[in-house]
Amino acid sequence: MRVSWITEEKSRSVVEYGKVPGKYSAAASGEESTSYHYFFYTSGEIHHVKIGPLEPSTTYYYRCGGGGTEFSFRTPPSAFPVEFAVAGDLGQTEWTESTLAHVGGSDYDMFLLPGDLSYADMQQPLWDSFGRLVEPLASARPWMVTQGNHEIEMFPIIYPQGFKAYNARWLMPYQESNSQSNLYYSFDIAGAHILMLGSYTDFDADSDQYAWLLADLAAVNRSKTPWVFALIHAPWYNTNAAHKGEGESMRIAMENILYKARVDVIFAGHVHAYERFTRVYDNKADQCGPVHITIGDGGNREGLAMTFESPSRSISMYREPSFGHGRLRVLNDTHAHWSWHRNNETNSVTADEIWLESLSSYTHCNHDVTSPNDEL
């Protein structure tokens, strides 16, 4: 686990931790803290410390910097079942607070966020307020995120590369997954392999991300990780008028790779509504393709995307312009349950749900699976 925090002044990058409140039997140090400048803004001191090895399904108590507030978190399980909370496009509104309250109201093992975190949009203090807003949840369970368009924060000549605040604050395990960029990476949890892909960095056939994705999927052992999920920001399938077609170039570049690898579900954000598609490939229903789910309904300040195509496409199974979050509970090697919960309902009320079977268990999809390195 990597623990990240920010202090006003330079202090020790150390995390003390243990299994008993107030008793820290272990400690780990990180590299010296860093800070960044963005126009007239200077961040606090940003600390990243990796701790472990840790036992699975275990609560640890910890404090940062050698003192201060004690936090606690629970490590994910090493085997099924495992449960993910999923929500994109969070922002910092009353709807965001409602989403986080709903997420925290039921137990889960990991939070997945397909882009658009703080909506700072160059106003750097909003990154700080976002950190304070999510700290109660992000200090207690691992938060795994990928970038959205609101993380770019590019400014010609001065900040031409973008992602300065995002990369400094939200350090993901890209090096551990042999990626060259914090904008895309992968990791394993229990029996699932999860791809966190970058919609706003190069993804065409001669890009580093494309080469990394081929190598990453080639190393996946479906007998050990029978489920494969992917997160992107701009959806590849979308019947909403908002952001129509913005994910198409990435779909053309990478859909074939994920289809051949038998990725089970692809989660996207960007569109501020909920939509679930059937298993699909190349714009047609395909029983061996991934289920596409748009979940960009976390609570952003731009409001909901209210306008859907009429009539709906046959591959779109459920769609609704409401704020909410999703739950993916992977029960075993073959079955998982997906549910979506509106903010204006209690967590016990499910607005949409579906049972999923892993494509690795589909015999009719396995016999013709080729390496993602192969060409069609």
Residues listed for the chain: 376
* Nearest-angstrom CA–CA distance, 315 and 190: 31
Our measurement of the distance from residue 256's CA atom to the centroid of its chain's CA atoms, rounded to an integer in Å, reads: 21
* Nearest-angstrom CA–CA distance, 113 and 115: 6
From the list 80, 78, 83, 84, the residue with the least C-alpha distance to 58 is: 78
243 is catalytic: yes
Residues 6+ apart with CB under 8 A from 47: 3, 4, 5, 6, 7, 11, 13, 30, 33, 64, 65
Torsion of CA 339, 343, 345, 347, to 10 degrees: 50
Residues 6+ apart with CB under 8 A from 368: none
* Nearest-angstrom CA–CA distance, 350 and 249: 33
The active-site residue, picked from 48, 150, 193, 243, is: 243
Q: Give the tokens for residue 1.
A: 């686990």
Kindly report the number of other CB atoms within 10 A of residue 30's CB atom: 17
Exposure string of 244-262, with b = 16+ CB inside 10 Å and e = fewer, is: eebbeebbebbbbbbbbbb
* Nearest-angstrom CA–CA distance, 112 and 196: 9
Asked if omega into 321 is within 30° of 0 (cis), the reply is no
Active site (catalytic) residues:
243
